[in-house]
Amino acid sequence: MASTFAGMSSVGSLAAPGSRVMDDKIVASSSKLSSLASISSSSLGRRKNVVLRKTRSSQITAAAKDLYFNKDGSAIKRLQSGVNKLADIVGVTLGPKGRNVVLESKYGSPKIVNDGVTVAKEVELEDPVENIGAKLVRQAAAKTNDLAGDGTTTSVVLAQGLIAEGVKVVAAGANPVLITRGIEKTTKALVSELKSISKEVEDSELADVAAVSAGNNYEVGNMIAEALSKVGRKGVVTLEEGKSAENSLYVVEGMQFDRGYISPYFVTDSEKMSVEYENCKLLLVDKKITNARDLINILEDAVRGGYPVLIIAEDIEQEALGTLVVNKLRGALKVAALKAPGFGERKSQYLDDIAILTGGTVIREEIGLTLDKADKEVLGHAAKVVLTKDSTTIVGDGSTQEAVNKRVAQIRNLIEAAEQDYEKEKLNERIAKLSGGVAVIQVGAQTETELKEKKLRVEDALNATKAAVEEGIVVGGGCTLLRLASKVDAIKETLENDEEKVGADIVKRALSYPLKLIAKNAGVNGSVVSEKVLSSDNPKYGYNAATGQYEDLMAAGIIDPTKVVRCCLEHAASVAKTFLMSDCVVVEIKEPEPVVAGNPMDNSVYKFASAALSEIYGSLLLLVIYVHSCTAFARLLNKSSYEPGLFPFYFHSLHYSDPNSRKKHVLHALKELNFHPSHGFQQLTNLHVQRT
């Protein structure tokens, strides 16, 4: 049977291109730098001691600080000013009739967003104390976004309300320590009350939850509900940027990862250039396969059993790969091979995931398993495998579902313990691959700016839907927070002293802020709306800002995830407590911009002159490149002189008033000939000679 497999001494090799010329350039550059260094040190020898003293002093001198005390309330006022500036710009996005915010982008087109945390991250205030206040409130939005994925604007608005009401009573002489204690106790009691009124979300309500989060966009809501119906409530739904103007949804079955076949000779469908096998066995090896003889036992069993084998290993060297390819081409063996996904420790984790999905065993020498002693008992089984040049899909047969569920539960625990966003993202990817089905929503738009804004909305809607599945739903539109205020009077009876009760009253007044702002953004008086909502004893009765009607919000589909409301309340209270307990602000003193020594001109004049000289130098350099390149073009075409109309690509570059555009235009044209200024102008002629 060993003779069945043809050996192959070499499959072919690619010689690595030499880099001697480049190395010479590097060496030359290094030598020039060395000589320059020696010249500099010799010419500056007289100033050496001065430089050393300056360096030593800079190492031991700390940056100076400005201290702002709150004796007259000035520090808190400036902090609160920063809070209000951030909350006011974030608040315009709240509700179904909230507006967008345009964010400047240094590179590319501006961003138009309706997402609170995205806006908050872009706000940097010039006043350092105000900026600290803005950063404090930004924490509430960021933490809510991390845990719930939505409700970031409500967190900021609620924190603004708690701080505004708290600052009033602290300025009147109340003890901030006892007040914050009252805020903490009241918040904890309200969270318990919130959980008691929460209800489990029905399948028919998932679209409503998503639509409300996406700004009453029911196209997005229905698409997310459809995606969850296909992959299950705890299934994986991912977002992609689509290539058309329309949104679309498709489902990827099985485990998929970005690794394709090692050799195109494994292809079974020449039209699709893919490998497709059904009822396939999988050999998983956590090492590099160097010798084809180690595979003999596995391959002989495959020939006898008549089943295909997919080999997933760290790598397969040419000798072993050649044996597989030759026997595949001769028809003696149905086989394909690919490199394991991931790198380092993550690669081993992916192999373990594949083993659990397929019921196989990963061959590792650390646990006493070697490839040459392995038999068919270590092989996994898949109902179907599909390999392309860039990706692989493995569809399990369902026999290992219990083991897969346990593995997914383990990974979810790792996600809860993970601190880095990147680590959480990779763990979520592993869950997605193990789940056996991933729904992909492609977000479409007419322009890139619109695409980014729509993608943020869909992402919020998806996160809100997941949060609703986790902890249930409550009435939306800010009405749940408003009605929780009616529970505060009963909570006050459990508090120890009057100042703690003052803290409870602060929470009570702040709970109306989100609803009032939703009404304000809809063009209605917020105080009037809140009074009318509270006039009804029906807990589901509220104001529908989308239609301007007072109605049963649960029946109208105006629903919020309980988890989102809870996170908003907890994180806003946490930030407010920190703020009210602060009594001093320490900020670094900004270093003044250096003025050129010995120059009678002030720094602004110097900057202007420097910029002007730089512009002149850049224009002259481009003109030199332009003249030389045009002359070279004339030579290439055997022209005695350059004719402007012959090369409009160069000619029109001089019409650009912006130097950056002019430079980009000229250099782009030179790039068409693989020309770079550092190569010398003679290269243009050489290029023509080589091509002819």
CATH number at residue 524: 1.10.560.10
397: in domain: no
Handedness of CA 34, 35, 40, 43 (dihedral sign): positive
DSSP state of 15: P
Residue 248 has pLDDT above 60, yes or no: yes
Long-range CB pairs of 317-321, under 8 A, 24+ apart, other chains included: 317/288, 317/289, 317/290, 318/10, 318/11, 318/12, 318/13, 319/8, 319/9, 319/10, 319/290, 319/291, 319/292, 320/289, 320/290, 320/291, 320/292, 320/294, 320/295, 321/11, 321/262, 321/263
State mean pLDDT over 429-444.
81
Provide, rounded to the nearest whole percent, the portion of the chain with pLDDT above 70: 76
Residue 7 has pLDDT above 70, yes or no: no
- Between CA 122 and CA 85 the distance in angstroms is 12
Residues 631 and 523 in one domain: no
421: in domain: no
Residue 347 has pLDDT above 70, yes or no: yes
Q: φ and ψ at 173, to 5 degrees?
A: 110, 5
Strand partners, 22: none
Residue 607 CA, chain-centre distance (Å), reads: 38
- State the DSSP H helix or E strand holding residue 627, giving kind and residue range, or none if neither: helix 603-636
Residue 244, domain CATH? 3.30.260.10
Q: Which residue among 427, 455, 471 closes a domain? A: 471
16: in domain: no
The predicted pLDDT at position 10 comes to 35
Residues 262 and 387 in one domain: yes
User: How far are the Cα atoms of 36, 134, 137, 431, 490 from residue 120, in angstroms, in the given order?
Assistant: 48, 8, 9, 31, 35
Residues 282 and 373 in one domain: yes
Residues 31 and 119 in one domain: no
Residues 46 and 170 in one domain: no
Q: Which residue among 585, 615, 642 closes a domain? A: 585
Residues 265 and 386 in one domain: yes
305: in domain: yes
- Between CA 495 and CA 638 the distance in angstroms is 96
- Between CA 308 and CA 275 the distance in angstroms is 11
400: in domain: no
- Between CA 294 and CA 336 the distance in angstroms is 16
92: in domain: yes
- Between CA 118 and CA 139 the distance in angstroms is 12
Residues 265 and 246 in one domain: no
- Between CA 71 and CA 55 the distance in angstroms is 39
Residues 155 and 246 in one domain: no
Residues 491 and 464 in one domain: no
Residues 479 and 465 in one domain: no
For residue range 494-546, list pLDDT tens digits in order.
998 999 999 999 999 999 999 999 999 999 999 999 999 999 999 999 999 99
Range of the domain at 498: 74-199+474-585
221: in domain: yes
Residues 87 and 167 in one domain: yes
Q: Which residue among 36, 60, 84 closes a domain? A: 60
Residues 238 and 265 in one domain: no
Token pair of 282 as six digits:
């999988």
Look at the chain and report how many structural domains it folds into: 5
The predicted pLDDT at position 116 comes to 86
Greater confidence, 430 or 632? 430
pTM comes to 0.62
The predicted pLDDT at position 670 comes to 53
Residue 393 has pLDDT above 80, yes or no: yes
Residue 28 has pLDDT above 80, yes or no: no
- Between CA 436 and CA 438 the distance in angstroms is 7
